[in-house]
Structure 1
Amino acid sequence: MDSGGTGTDTGTDALLNADGRTVTVWSDLGCPWATLALHTLRERARERGRRVTIDHRAFPLELFNRMPTPKGILDAEIVTIAGHRPELGWRLWPGPDSHYPVTMLPPMEAVQAAKSPDVGGLIASDELDEALRRAFYVEGRCVSIHAVILDVAEQCAHVDTEQLAAALARGDGRAEVYRQWKVAEGPEVQGSPHLFAAGGFAVHNPGATYHWTAAPPSGFPRLDAYDPKWADDLLDLLDR
């Protein structure tokens, strides 16, 4: 499952990437559960001396819900997950609420735009997705801002930041996010995250057993268990 090569999205109207060694991940960049799943998959691949190819597809919660994802819900989920998995290094938003990102569409559009071969391809797209999530969850940066997105991109070895800036100026990535939203409205994609791979692998929020004690804003999320073994099972499947 070596995946050093770059690649482009094989069609945002498709459910999963046609490459049998690529994992298609539907998610919202502002979803803590998706960020947990991606961290688990990437770290387990690194521990095995591999790089996993990920084709990111947008599950834009704010378009589904017609509103920003409430900060109170995200804060509760971040505390729950980070308390269970402290190795993530997450923290609550450190700045004033006025600086909190009200939308996650710009960074998700940038992740899509990075799939262009001129910017770097799938490997660049995944590097940028990981770096943007770290910037938000660990560093407390407003990843909705164009300048922050490009600053984060500078940290990514396979991202051509000048080409990314030009792509974003053209509006690249926006149409892809909206097309993917329409696909995600179908029955196959159950939420953020939902992972698909060859061999029939299709799992929503893998490894996590959790529930809300009551409907938000009254209740709190409770993570009863998290089993990272799913990542090894997926990597084994990709190696066949």
Structure 2
Amino acid sequence: MNPLAETPSMSVTPGTRQEDSLLSRDARTVTVWSDIGCPWATLALHTVHAAAERRGTELLVDHRVFPLELFNSQSTPKPIIDAEVVAIGAKVPALGWRLWSAPEYTYPVSTLPAMEAVQAAKAPEVGGLRASDQLDTALRHAFYAQGRCISIVPEILAVAEECPLVDEKALASAVERGEGRAAVYRDWAVARSPRVQGSPHLFTAAGVDVHNPGADFRWTADPNEGGFPDFHAYSADWAEGVLDSVTAQE
């Protein structure tokens, strides 16, 4: 199973009362299931954040974990990520991505520690939901644009120090206690259900239900056998619908 290479889809379903395990019941919040090591998820998050900034909308994102390495029983292969970074970075240069330029031995073998930290940052004493989103954004930038090893706690905490909303000392203490680990595994249990189709999948309480929106691409062959992502086009229009969904509740 390789959820990172799944075919993108997009749908909007009528608003229904969902379980808290699937999405936030806060009508102003966008719940995003993803893996930090998924370039498509990072593109989607960049798109919705940029749209919110243009509109002057305060965006609340509740990050849930779709842990690719647990699904696949291996770290996501670097050649797959490299191919997607090239395809996406060429189509959306505003991302500022670049191919891994640090020594190969420093390449992150796991994104679980980073995602655990993002979950731990949701605690009020660390910063809460906005701090968690700020940390997630910063960790993605550190990986895709700066070539930093976000597998190791010292680097994660160094990134956290750059986030004004995150109490780095409280986060360090939470990480030391293993806070966030249980949340990752709880999310994995939910992510294995058919409701979450892959990374990324976005939900809102008003009924938005979109998997990898805006991207028109296909793999030329199995990515594990030398295939390439043929990225035809990207539309950011979907983000307006997501923002309309949450701002209509204000």
1:225 matches 2:230: no
1:30 matches 2:37: yes
Amino acid paired to 2:58: R
Once residues 114 and 22 of structure 2 are traced to their aligned partners in structure 1, the CA distance between those partners, rounded to angstroms, is: 21
Shift, 1:236, TM fit: 1.2
- The DSSP-based 3-state class of the residue aligned with 2:62 is strand
Candidates 210, 213, 217, aligned match of 1:206: 213
Once residues 148 and 95 of structure 2 are traced to their aligned partners in structure 1, the CA distance between those partners, rounded to angstroms, is: 16
Amino acid paired to 2:143: F
| Stretch of structure 1 that moved more, 209-218 or 32-41 | 209-218
Say which structure, 1 or 2, has more relative contact order (CA 8 Å, 6+ apart).
2
Amino acid paired to 1:69: T
Shift, 1:233, TM fit: 1.1
1:13·1:180 contact (CA, 8 Å) conserved in 2? no
Shift, 1:150, TM fit: 0.6
Once residues 245 and 133 of structure 2 are traced to their aligned partners in structure 1, the CA distance between those partners, rounded to angstroms, is: 20
Candidates 56, 65, 75, aligned match of 2:63: 56
Give the percent of matched residue pairs that are identical in Structure 1 and Structure 2: 61
| Stretch of structure 1 that moved more, 228-237 or 185-194 | 228-237
1:20·1:238 contact (CA, 8 Å) conserved in 2? yes
* Count of residues paired in the alignment: 229
1:126 matches 2:133: yes
Once residues 153 and 247 of structure 2 are traced to their aligned partners in structure 1, the CA distance between those partners, rounded to angstroms, is: 38
Counterpart of 1:181? 188
Once residues 198 and 105 of structure 1 are traced to their aligned partners in structure 2, the CA distance between those partners, rounded to angstroms, is: 27
Once residues 186 and 80 of structure 2 are traced to their aligned partners in structure 1, the CA distance between those partners, rounded to angstroms, is: 27
Please give the per-residue CA displacement for 1:120-170, whole angstroms capped at 9, x wherever unaligned.
000000000000000000011001111111111011111000000000000
Residues 117-196 of structure 1 mapped to structure 2, 5 A cutoff: 117-196=124-203
Shift, 1:239, TM fit: 1.5
Q: State the TM-score, normalized to the length of structure 2.
A: 0.90
Counterpart of 1:7? none
Shift, 1:13, TM fit: 6.3
Please give the per-residue CA displacement for 1:153-211, whole angstroms capped at 9, x wherever unaligned.
01111100000000000000001001100100001000000000022110000111110
1:19 matches 2:26: yes
- The DSSP-based 3-state class of the residue aligned with 2:206 is helix
**Structure 2: gaps spanning 5 or more residues:** 1-18
Kindly report structure 1 stretches of 4+ aligned residues shifted beyond 3 Å: none
